[in-house]
Amino acid sequence: MKEEKKDKIVSTLEWAEFYLSQGFSLIPLLPKDKTPAIQWKEYQHRKPTQAELIKWFSNGRNNIGIVTGKISGIAVIDLDSEAALNFAKQNDFSDTPSVKTGKGCHLYYKYPDNIEVRNFQKRDDLPDIDLRGDGGYVVAPPSIHSSGNVYQWVKNKSSNDIPVSANFPSIIIRNKENINSIRELCQGVPQGKRNDSIFRITCALKKNGLDINDCLGLAHAVNERNEPPLSESEVEKTVKGIFDRYNEQESVFQFSDNIYRQKTGKLDLATFKYSDVLKKGHALQKLDIKIEWIIENILPKQSIILLHGRGGIGKTWLSLQIGEAVSNGNILLGHATQQTPVYYIDMENSFPVLVERVKKLNIKQMLFWHNSNEIPPPKIDSDEWSVYKDNLPPGLLIIDTLRAFQSLDENDSKHMAEVMSRLKIMRDKGFTILLLHHTPKSNERTYKGSTAIFDLCDHVLSIHSIKRPDMEDEDDEFGKYRWFGTKDKTRYVPYHMSLMFDPDKGFVEVKGPDIDDSEKIKLVITKYIADNDRPPTQSEAIDTITRETEISKSCAQKLLGQGEKVFWISTKGGAKNKKIYEPVFDFNKLIYEAETQKLTYCDETIDLLRKYLVWSNRDFIFSNQNRHRNFDDLIYQHIESLLRCLQCDNQ
């Protein structure tokens, strides 16, 4: 290994260059994830170039994966629990460079000579110990775990501190047929093998359904045959450590191999136990699982999302913008994204149309599979559908459109349920699936086809036309304004925004006054009407509102209509019998007592008066006696405008 000061390395790219200089083959992993960001098979046989490192790691977001096996000259042992760490100590694993992980560590060893080292996971005789050799990879520092923890070299155990050990533990790579049977171990073992014997016997007993008390009893009995026996405390520590680790691993999504047959997925009734599948709520609360977003508040990760809209509304444009932002980890319409591979399956648009839009949006990183390809993308209800789930690394899969992605009637509930079930299989393998879908001609705000489509989606989005959302005077001559957001169903959070379509740039967000702004403006209008010496006409009200709030006249007129019979009423009167505005109730019914600074009025006005007083930033203090409302710390100067508003005598 080359000697190089790691503590001077700052950027992810510098770390990658350092690892390459050590002779390791590298691949990029998704940010805060263990999933490869590329097809990485070729890097099991060749090392990346400097240009590839710059492409993968210069953004500083991707995690680093070190490819194990002959290509890098290393094999890595993954110890994933306290029990596994103890096992390594008891079996004298030699000192070697080590990386601290969430629950254990990675031990880096030289690839053994004259033997092929293959990957394994969950070997019966080595619980919580995995091996990464040929065809494998490990996450390397300074990568970031999904929990936010950083992978780090163990202090004084980096490749600069100690050499990579060539003394690979034989217990890890020996053949199963050479492993002593449990029956032989129960006859007793000599010093040096006692902990290993108790460890393996307990794991076998636990797997066969024995509880901790039974395992402790048998472990003590077997230990009596060891020469010499371990202390009772050492036996109990080993057994309890194994059970603690098994309990931590339990989750709704983990089923033991003896329950489900891997190939058929069928239940083995002969070995089925309810305790293997039923989990208590307190166990679920301990799981480090949380909802993640591919696009914040818009696309939840590992979900099936239906995006429906009429033909020509812009579904393809919007989904292309979504895909390009996600493939680069860029901000989209003000929303953060999580970088992930993006696959666009286009069975709807002509190839020239697709190419034109890709050019206009300057799309570079997305991967496209168009229907015109010599090998067209298979439909989801075909025998070849597994090519998606088995051959693509998990990422964002955009389907344009659902109707073209399957071969039968989209109104057929049974068939569409099968289609959605296959998509659920892909979702559970780590994919986020965005389905573009059409709407009926009669209603552009709902989806088309069987209710099975809607029922089996996790999140439903809609895009439909609207009038200009900021209510300016400009007409929507070309129908370019859109409402985009959750519609009718979500398992996450509802959200929507207003968009404007630019045929050269795609969609941009349009800001209009939100609900809070509208309410504040209504209060300004209310105060103006109440403060005026005479009821203002509509034109006077609109002129004053636009001057004080800087909103358009059409917006002011719309807000006047929204507040009708709620904040104010309009009647015909004044000069030339024009429309005039007055408060919605008679303020003369309100009585202000200057001496006590109390205000009394009928109960019907309570809610309205609360709104009227918002502009003065004063809250009510309720008094049960005499139904009075007290104003805290108010002096005459502070309530002068309020008194004028209420038309009370200032006595």
**Quick one: pLDDT at residue 269?**
64
In tens, the pLDDT along 162-183 reads 788 888 888 787 544 444 467 7
Q: What is the DSSP letter of 536?
A: P
The more confident residue out of 646 and 586 is 586
195 close to 234: Cβ distance less than 8 angstroms: yes
Compute the distance between CA of residue 306 and CA of residue 436 in angstroms, rounded to an integer. 6
The more confident residue out of 463 and 558 is 463
In the predicted model, what is the mean pLDDT of residues 194-211?
81
Please state, for a pLDDT cut of 70, what percent of the chain lies above it: 76
Are residues 622 and 557 located together in one domain of the fold?
Answer: no
Ranges 197-211, 318-332, 559-573, most confident: 318-332
Q: Is the pLDDT of residue 32 over 80?
A: yes
Q: Is the pLDDT of residue 558 over 50?
A: yes
**Quick one: pLDDT at residue 127?**
77
Q: Tell whether 270 is covered by a domain.
A: no
For residue 548, give the 3-state DSSP assignment: helix
Please state the domain count of the chain: 5
Are residues 409 and 499 located together in one domain of the fold?
Answer: yes
Choose one of 529, 550, 583: the last residue of a domain.
583
Nearest to 134 by CA among 111, 113, 110, 117: 117
Are residues 483 and 566 located together in one domain of the fold?
Answer: no
In the predicted model, what is the mean pLDDT of residues 233-253?
70
Average pLDDT of every residue of the chain: 78
Are residues 474 and 550 located together in one domain of the fold?
Answer: no
Are residues 398 and 488 located together in one domain of the fold?
Answer: yes
Are residues 352 and 243 located together in one domain of the fold?
Answer: no
Compute the distance between CA of residue 199 and CA of residue 107 in angstroms, rounded to an integer. 20
Compute the distance between CA of residue 492 and CA of residue 488 in angstroms, rounded to an integer. 12
**Quick one: pLDDT at residue 53?**
94
Domain that holds residue 629: 587-646
**Quick one: pLDDT at residue 20?**
92
Q: What is the pTM of this model?
A: 0.45
List alpha helices for 406-493, DSSP H.
413-428, 451-455
Q: Tell whether 129 is covered by a domain.
A: yes
Are residues 123 and 31 located together in one domain of the fold?
Answer: yes
Mean pLDDT lowest for which of 356-365, 386-395, 636-645? 636-645
Q: Tell whether 269 is covered by a domain.
A: no
Q: Is the pLDDT of residue 9 over 70?
A: no
Are residues 537 and 550 located together in one domain of the fold?
Answer: yes
In tens, the pLDDT along 482-513 reads 889 998 888 887 888 888 888 878 898 876 44
Compute the distance between CA of residue 74 and CA of residue 104 in angstroms, rounded to an integer. 19
Q: Is the pLDDT of residue 256 over 70?
A: no
Nearest to 96 by CA among 158, 18, 23: 158
Compute the distance between CA of residue 577 and CA of residue 557 in angstroms, rounded to an integer. 19
Choose one of 459, 488, 509: the last residue of a domain.
509
Compute the distance between CA of residue 458 and CA of residue 490 in angstroms, rounded to an integer. 6
In tens, the pLDDT along 294-304 reads 999 999 999 99
Q: How confident is the model at residue 272 (pLDDT cuts 50, 70, 90)?
A: low
- Go through 23-39 and write b for each residue having 16 or more CB atoms within 10 A of its CB, e for each that does not: ebbbbbbbbbbeebbbe
